[in-house]
Copies of this chain bind each other. A is one copy, B any other.
Amino acid sequence: MAKRNGQTITLDKKIYINKYAAVGGKKEMEGPLGQFLDLTSEDNKFDQPTWEKSESKMQELAIKALIKKSGYSPSDIDIIFGGDLLNQCIGSSYGVRNLSIPFAGLYGACSTMALSLILATMSIESGFAKRSIGVTSSHFCSAERQFRFPLEYGSQRTENNQWTVTGSGAVLISKEKSDIYISRCALGKITDYNISDMNNMGAAMAPSAADTLLNFFKDTNTTEKDYDYIFTGDLGSVGKKLLITLMNAEGYNLENNYNDCGCIIYKSDDKDIKSGASGCGCSAVTLCTYILPKLQRGDFKKVIFMATGALMSPTSSQQGESIPGIAHLLVLEREE
Contact = CB atoms under 8 A, between A and B. Distances in A.
Contact of A326 (B7, B53, B90, B103): B103
A105 B102 contact: no
B90 A126 contact: no
Given A103-B326, A311-B105, A94 B321 contact: yes
Contacts of A2: 126-128
A96 to B, nearest CB: 6
A11 to B, nearest CB: 9
B1 A126 contact: yes
A130 interface: yes
A37 interface: no
A234 interface: no
Interface in A279-336: 311-316, 319, 321, 324, 326
B4 A78 contact: yes
Contacts of A189: 100-103
Given A105-B108, A311-B105, A313-B88, A9 B97 contact: no
A71 to B, nearest CB: 21
A111 B109 CA distance: 20
Contacts of A16: none
Contacts of A94: 311, 316, 321, 324
Contacts of A3: 127
A264 interface: no
Task: Give this chain's copy count.
Answer: 2
Contacts of A242: none
A104 B115 contact: yes
- Which one of A49, A100, A146, A316 has the highest number of Cβ atoms from chain B below 10 Å of its Cβ? A316
A9 B78 CA distance: 11
Contacts of A50: 319
Contact of A7 (B1, B90, B102, B311): B102
Contact of A93 (B78, B88, B324): B324
Nearest to A185: B128
A280 to B, nearest CB: 12
A28 interface: no
Contact of A187 (B103, B107, B146): B103
Contacts of A109: 88
A89 interface: yes
A314 B87 contact: yes
A228 B86 CA distance: 40
A112 to B, nearest CB: 8
Contacts of A146: 315
- Which one of A88, A129, A130, A187 has the highest number of Cβ atoms from chain B below 10 Å of its Cβ? A88
A25 interface: no
A88 B326 CA distance: 13
11 contacts: A1-B126, A4-B130, A87-B315, A88-B312, A90-B315, A94-B311, A97-B324, A103-B187, A122-B122, A122-B128, A126-B126
Given A9-B128, A94-B311, A104-B119, 13 more contacts: A2-B128, A4-B129, A52-B315, A53-B321, A83-B107, A90-B316, A93-B312, A94-B316, A102-B186, A104-B106, A106-B106, A122-B126, A146-B315
